[in-house]
Structure 1
Amino acid sequence: MNKYTFGAAMAALALAIPAAAPAQKTPGAAIVVVDIERVYQECTACRAANTQLQTQLQQIQQRAQQLAQPIQTEGTAIETAIRALNGKQPDAALQARITALQTKQNQGNQEIQGREQTLRSTQANVAQQINARLNPIINQVMTARGANLALDVNSTLARAQALDVTNDVLAQLNQQLPSVTVAPLPQGQQPARPQGR
């Protein structure tokens, strides 16, 4: 009798426990690829912004050279004067020249660092404007192509050319974002300074 009672209890228990829901299958991946590097090089707004950013970088480099020239000249003259002392302490006039040179170097470094910070902020602002339009466009193109995954072309080992939707993305980006503002980020959104500076 125990075996019938036990069997009936197991049967009742089996009926009381709901059957496990079948696991939902993940749909197969339908993939498109986008050459993000090409988009950033070829989009109309990107090219115009890059030209302006290159000009700003060249101006910083030219200013750094302008500041460095007289500092190097004065530094060489001070070194010559110090060597001529043959180990003696510099007089007050030479000491004042050394201090003035150090002050000029510090001011020059601060000016160049400020200009570089402005350039980094401008680059971040340009990228932010482009990405704000680019990401939704990639999603639209992906959906239009019936894909559920978009990858950067540089993240793939091999691919069929038919998966590349870069031209579609570029066309829409050029249409929706013909230009960007090439200016630093607003004050509260400045990019973090790199460590070591």
Structure 2
Amino acid sequence: MMRKSLHAALLGVALAVGAAAPALAENLPQAAPLIVNYERLQTASKAAQDVRRQVQAVQAKYQAVIDKDLQNLKAEEKKLRDAAPKLSDAERDKRQKAFEAKVAEAQRRAQASNKAISEAVDAAGAKVREALVPIFSEIMTSRGSNLLLGTNEVLYFDPKLEITGEVLAALDAQLPSIKVEVAPVK
């Protein structure tokens, strides 16, 4: 009995919503879209190019440290291998464990370097996104738009609706560079 009353109630709600749908649609504003190529903004802007340049410099610095660690570890591994036949089992195990600890520490530093770079890139990206919001808003208002879509979300559009160049020019003027701050790795 309760099941029938639940079905009846749901049917009543569905009918009421269905009947109100045309009235609701009449009250919605007409879509006035603009289109932007967000990926292009993230790669072609002066700020994005500046971030890439800084990150490449930091990566090169960290890579030099990692390469030096690797070179030192290979040399130590060779010494350990050469000395192993002359060592007691206990001494060999002790040195092997010490070597493995150094390898683990080098791996931890490499991972910490990658994480620090990734976090710095994310922070720089957030600054770009933060700068884009008022630019989008201003252009949308000036063009009477109420909807902004990415080029990836639209199959076909009139090229007059795309504002990427205009946004890019405004972004470059407002944010020509960003200081990438990578946390030091210990």
Q: Give TM-score, length-normalised by structure 2.
A: 0.74
Distance 1:62 1:155 in 2: 41
2:141 to 140, 143, 165: 143
**Counting helix residues as a fraction of each chain, which structure ranks higher?**
2
Distance 2:27 2:74 in 1: 70
Distance 1:28 1:90 in 2: 84
Give the 3-state SS of the residue equivalent to 1:61 in structure 2.
helix
2:159 — aligned with what? 161
Amino acid at match of 2:123: N
Give the 3-state SS of the residue equivalent to 2:181 in structure 1.
coil
Distance 1:27 1:175 in 2: 33
1:92 to 81, 85, 90: 90
> Any conservation in 2 of the 1:125–1:184 contact (CA below 8 Å)?
no
Distance 1:127 1:105 in 2: 33
2:123 — aligned with what? 125
- Structure number with larger C-alpha Rg: 1
Task: Report the alpha carbon displacement of residue 32 of structure 1 after superposing the two structures with TM.
Answer: 0.9
Task: Report the alpha carbon displacement of residue 90 of structure 1 after superposing the two structures with TM.
Answer: 5.6
Distance 1:135 1:90 in 2: 67
> Any conservation in 2 of the 1:118–1:184 contact (CA below 8 Å)?
yes
2:49 — aligned with what? 47
Q: Which runs of 5+ in 2 are unaligned?
A: 1-19
1:177 to 164, 175, 178: 175
Q: Which runs of 5+ in 1 are unaligned?
A: 1-19, 186-197
State the aligned residue count.
161
Percent identity between the two aligned chains: 27
Q: Give TM-score, length-normalised by structure 1.
A: 0.71
Give the 3-state SS of the residue equivalent to 1:33 in structure 2.
strand
